[in-house]
Amino acid sequence: ICNYCNHLISKIFHIQYYSVSINRENLQHLKKKLFLLSICWLKLHVHNIANR
């Protein structure tokens, strides 16, 4: 796992950890954004590794 992937994962866990203190709607929106971002980035990451 590279640093960026690791960073994304920790960010997602961080948000889940603090979910209680955050407005529910904002939380869902944030999670969705992070989830999509991580999928996009991982796809790109895998593509880059495959092309090396």
Q: Would the pTM of this model clear 0.75, i.e. be above it?
A: no
Q: Which two tokens stand for residue 10?
A: 């920790």
CB 15 within 8 A of CB 35: no
The pLDDT score that the predictor gives to residue 19 is 59
Q: Average pLDDT of 11-34?
A: 72
- Alpha carbons 46 and 10: distance in angstroms, whole number: 19
Q: Average pLDDT of 8-26?
A: 69
Angle between helices 24-50 and 3-17 (to 10 degrees): 160
14 CB-near residues (< 8 Å, 6+ apart): none
Q: Where are the domains of the chain?
A: 3-50
